[in-house]
Chain A
Amino acid sequence: SQQGEEDPQALSIQEGENATMNCSYKTSINNLQWYRQNSGRGLVHLILIRSNEREKHSGRLRVTLDTSKKSSSLLITASRAADTASYFCATGIQGAQKLVFGQGTRLTINP
Protein backbone atom coordinates (compact mmCIF):
# COMPACT_ATOMS: atom_id res chain seq x y z
CA SER A 1 0.00 0.00 0.00
CA GLN A 2 1.09 3.58 -0.53
CA GLN A 3 3.19 5.23 2.12
CA GLY A 4 1.66 8.63 1.53
CA GLU A 5 -2.04 9.21 1.10
CA GLU A 6 -3.39 12.60 0.20
CA ASP A 7 -6.74 13.97 1.22
CA PRO A 8 -8.88 15.10 -0.46
CA GLN A 9 -8.39 13.37 -3.80
CA ALA A 10 -9.88 16.38 -5.55
CA LEU A 11 -10.46 19.98 -4.48
CA SER A 12 -12.17 22.79 -6.36
CA ILE A 13 -12.12 26.36 -5.04
CA GLN A 14 -12.53 29.92 -6.23
CA GLU A 15 -9.57 32.05 -7.16
CA GLY A 16 -8.31 33.98 -4.18
CA GLU A 17 -9.37 31.36 -1.63
CA ASN A 18 -6.93 29.24 0.33
CA ALA A 19 -6.40 25.58 -0.51
CA THR A 20 -5.43 22.97 2.07
CA MET A 21 -4.26 19.46 1.23
CA ASN A 22 -3.35 16.77 3.70
CA CYS A 23 -0.98 13.84 3.59
CA SER A 24 -0.71 10.88 5.92
CA TYR A 25 2.09 8.34 5.98
CA LYS A 26 2.88 5.12 7.78
CA THR A 27 6.57 4.71 8.62
CA SER A 28 9.37 6.81 10.06
CA ILE A 29 10.64 9.44 7.66
CA ASN A 30 13.71 11.60 7.12
CA ASN A 31 11.75 14.30 5.40
CA LEU A 32 8.53 15.00 3.57
CA GLN A 33 8.35 16.83 0.28
CA TRP A 34 5.57 18.31 -1.81
CA TYR A 35 5.55 18.31 -5.60
CA ARG A 36 3.27 19.83 -8.21
CA GLN A 37 2.36 18.22 -11.51
CA ASN A 38 0.66 20.07 -14.31
CA SER A 39 -1.51 17.81 -16.47
CA GLY A 40 0.65 14.88 -17.61
CA ARG A 41 3.91 16.78 -17.20
CA GLY A 42 6.88 16.22 -14.95
CA LEU A 43 6.70 16.84 -11.24
CA VAL A 44 8.19 20.02 -9.85
CA HIS A 45 9.56 20.25 -6.33
CA LEU A 46 7.79 22.78 -4.14
CA ILE A 47 9.07 22.44 -0.61
CA LEU A 48 10.86 20.04 1.73
CA ILE A 49 10.33 19.77 5.47
CA ARG A 50 12.66 17.72 7.61
CA SER A 51 11.44 15.35 10.28
CA ASN A 52 12.65 17.67 13.06
CA GLU A 53 10.78 20.67 11.66
CA ARG A 54 7.16 21.51 12.37
CA GLU A 55 6.40 24.27 9.89
CA LYS A 56 7.94 25.79 6.82
CA HIS A 57 7.01 28.64 4.51
CA SER A 58 7.88 29.43 0.92
CA GLY A 59 6.07 32.32 -0.71
CA ARG A 60 2.35 31.46 -0.68
CA LEU A 61 3.05 27.93 0.53
CA ARG A 62 2.92 26.80 4.12
CA VAL A 63 3.73 23.23 5.09
CA THR A 64 3.23 21.65 8.50
CA LEU A 65 4.48 18.32 9.75
CA ASP A 66 3.22 16.38 12.73
CA THR A 67 5.40 13.30 13.16
CA SER A 68 3.36 12.07 16.13
CA LYS A 69 0.30 11.84 13.88
CA LYS A 70 2.34 10.95 10.79
CA SER A 71 0.69 13.69 8.81
CA SER A 72 1.47 16.84 6.88
CA SER A 73 -0.54 19.60 5.31
CA LEU A 74 0.11 21.96 2.43
CA LEU A 75 -1.61 25.32 2.45
CA ILE A 76 -1.67 27.49 -0.65
CA THR A 77 -2.85 31.00 0.17
CA ALA A 78 -4.55 33.44 -2.20
CA SER A 79 -4.89 30.81 -4.92
CA ARG A 80 -4.50 31.64 -8.59
CA ALA A 81 -5.68 29.93 -11.76
CA ALA A 82 -2.07 28.91 -12.41
CA ASP A 83 -2.13 26.83 -9.21
CA THR A 84 -4.45 24.36 -10.94
CA ALA A 85 -2.49 21.11 -10.87
CA SER A 86 -2.07 17.84 -8.99
CA TYR A 87 -0.12 17.98 -5.75
CA PHE A 88 1.81 15.04 -4.35
CA CYS A 89 3.43 14.44 -1.04
CA ALA A 90 6.53 12.27 -1.05
CA THR A 91 8.32 10.79 1.91
CA GLY A 92 11.99 10.05 2.29
CA ILE A 93 12.09 6.84 4.28
CA GLN A 94 15.02 5.97 6.51
CA GLY A 95 17.23 3.40 4.80
CA ALA A 96 15.46 3.52 1.43
CA GLN A 97 16.96 5.03 -1.71
CA LYS A 98 13.74 6.48 -3.02
CA LEU A 99 10.93 8.88 -2.40
CA VAL A 100 7.55 7.26 -1.89
CA PHE A 101 4.75 9.22 -3.48
CA GLY A 102 1.11 9.43 -2.58
CA GLN A 103 -1.64 9.37 -5.18
CA GLY A 104 -2.05 13.12 -5.21
CA THR A 105 -4.70 15.79 -4.78
CA ARG A 106 -6.13 17.31 -7.92
CA LEU A 107 -6.63 21.03 -7.30
CA THR A 108 -8.81 23.15 -9.57
CA ILE A 109 -8.91 26.92 -9.17
CA ASN A 110 -12.02 28.46 -10.70
CA PRO A 111 -11.75 32.04 -12.00
Chain B
Amino acid sequence: EAQVTQNPRYLITVTGKKLTVTCSQNMNHEYMSWYRQDPGLGLRQIYYSMNVEVTDKGDVPEGYKVSRKEKRNFPLILESPSPNQTSLYFCASSLSWTGTEKLFFGSGTQLSVL
Protein backbone atom coordinates (compact mmCIF):
# COMPACT_ATOMS: atom_id res chain seq x y z
CA GLU B 1 0.00 0.00 0.00
CA ALA B 2 1.31 3.42 -0.99
CA GLN B 3 1.80 5.46 2.12
CA VAL B 4 3.76 7.98 4.15
CA THR B 5 4.66 6.59 7.56
CA GLN B 6 5.47 8.80 10.51
CA ASN B 7 6.66 7.72 13.92
CA PRO B 8 5.88 8.16 16.70
CA ARG B 9 2.19 9.07 16.61
CA TYR B 10 2.37 10.73 20.02
CA LEU B 11 5.41 12.05 21.86
CA ILE B 12 5.75 13.80 25.19
CA THR B 13 9.18 15.13 26.06
CA VAL B 14 10.90 17.74 28.18
CA THR B 15 12.62 20.95 27.20
CA GLY B 16 16.09 20.41 25.78
CA LYS B 17 15.92 16.66 25.19
CA LYS B 18 16.83 15.94 21.57
CA LEU B 19 14.29 14.01 19.55
CA THR B 20 13.76 12.74 16.04
CA VAL B 21 10.48 12.22 14.24
CA THR B 22 10.87 9.75 11.41
CA CYS B 23 9.14 9.90 8.04
CA SER B 24 9.29 7.29 5.32
CA GLN B 25 7.47 6.96 2.01
CA ASN B 26 7.27 3.90 -0.26
CA MET B 27 6.20 5.66 -3.47
CA ASN B 28 9.67 6.63 -4.79
CA HIS B 29 8.72 10.29 -4.40
CA GLU B 30 11.36 12.92 -4.97
CA TYR B 31 9.73 15.73 -3.01
CA MET B 32 9.19 15.58 0.76
CA SER B 33 8.17 18.23 3.23
CA TRP B 34 7.43 18.83 6.89
CA TYR B 35 4.52 20.94 8.14
CA ARG B 36 3.35 21.89 11.57
CA GLN B 37 -0.30 22.53 12.35
CA ASP B 38 -1.35 24.89 15.11
CA PRO B 39 -4.84 26.15 16.02
CA GLY B 40 -5.59 29.42 14.29
CA LEU B 41 -2.42 29.26 12.21
CA GLY B 42 -3.19 26.42 9.84
CA LEU B 43 -0.36 24.39 8.33
CA ARG B 44 3.04 25.99 7.97
CA GLN B 45 5.97 24.50 6.13
CA ILE B 46 9.10 23.81 8.19
CA TYR B 47 11.53 22.29 5.67
CA TYR B 48 11.32 20.62 2.32
CA SER B 49 13.50 18.44 0.12
CA MET B 50 13.46 18.33 -3.65
CA ASN B 51 15.55 15.15 -3.76
CA VAL B 52 18.33 13.26 -1.98
CA GLU B 53 20.81 15.64 -0.34
CA VAL B 54 18.74 18.68 -1.42
CA THR B 55 16.91 20.40 1.44
CA ASP B 56 15.78 23.94 2.07
CA LYS B 57 14.01 26.03 4.67
CA GLY B 58 10.30 26.62 4.67
CA ASP B 59 8.44 29.32 6.53
CA VAL B 60 9.21 28.28 10.13
CA PRO B 61 12.59 26.44 10.18
CA GLU B 62 13.96 27.81 13.47
CA GLY B 63 14.69 25.07 15.99
CA TYR B 64 14.48 22.24 13.45
CA LYS B 65 16.90 20.24 11.34
CA VAL B 66 16.34 17.75 8.55
CA SER B 67 18.39 15.41 6.43
CA ARG B 68 17.73 13.48 3.24
CA LYS B 69 20.34 10.77 2.88
CA GLU B 70 17.97 8.31 1.23
CA LYS B 71 15.09 8.98 -1.10
CA ARG B 72 12.49 7.31 1.10
CA ASN B 73 13.39 8.89 4.46
CA PHE B 74 13.14 12.48 5.67
CA PRO B 75 13.56 12.72 9.46
CA LEU B 76 12.77 15.86 11.43
CA ILE B 77 15.21 16.60 14.25
CA LEU B 78 14.60 18.85 17.22
CA GLU B 79 17.98 19.24 18.86
CA SER B 80 16.76 21.25 21.87
CA PRO B 81 12.96 21.24 21.94
CA SER B 82 11.10 24.09 23.58
CA PRO B 83 7.44 24.40 24.64
CA ASN B 84 6.63 26.57 21.60
CA GLN B 85 7.37 23.53 19.43
CA THR B 86 4.39 21.73 20.92
CA SER B 87 2.35 21.06 17.82
CA LEU B 88 0.92 18.52 15.40
CA TYR B 89 3.52 17.63 12.78
CA PHE B 90 2.93 16.21 9.32
CA CYS B 91 5.28 14.78 6.78
CA ALA B 92 4.16 14.91 3.17
CA SER B 93 5.53 13.75 -0.16
CA SER B 94 4.84 14.05 -3.86
CA LEU B 95 6.25 12.50 -7.00
CA SER B 96 8.18 15.64 -7.81
CA TRP B 97 7.67 19.36 -7.49
CA THR B 98 6.36 20.86 -10.70
CA GLY B 99 3.89 23.09 -8.90
CA THR B 100 0.92 20.92 -9.84
CA GLU B 101 1.51 17.82 -7.75
CA LYS B 102 -0.74 16.63 -5.00
CA LEU B 103 0.71 15.85 -1.61
CA PHE B 104 0.44 12.58 0.27
CA PHE B 105 0.41 13.07 4.03
CA GLY B 106 1.44 10.93 6.96
CA SER B 107 -0.92 10.40 9.89
CA GLY B 108 0.79 13.04 12.00
CA THR B 109 2.87 13.24 15.17
CA GLN B 110 1.39 15.03 18.15
CA LEU B 111 4.34 16.47 20.08
CA SER B 112 4.13 17.95 23.56
CA VAL B 113 7.20 19.65 25.02
CA LEU B 114 6.95 20.24 28.76
Contact = CB atoms under 8 A, between A and B. Distances in A.
A102 B41 CA distance: 8
Given A30-B100, A42-B90, A48-B100, A101 B105 contact: no
A81 interface: no
A88 B42 contact: yes
Contacts of B106: 42
Interface residues of B, number: 28
Contacts, number: 57
B108 interface: yes
- Secondary structure type dominating chain B contacts: strand
Interface string A34-48: 010000111111001
Contact of A33 (B40, B88, B102, B107): B102
Contacts of B31: 97
Contact of A103 (B4, B42, B103, B110): B42
Interface of A: 2, 30-31, 33, 35, 40-45, 48, 50, 88, 90, 92-94, 97-99, 101-104
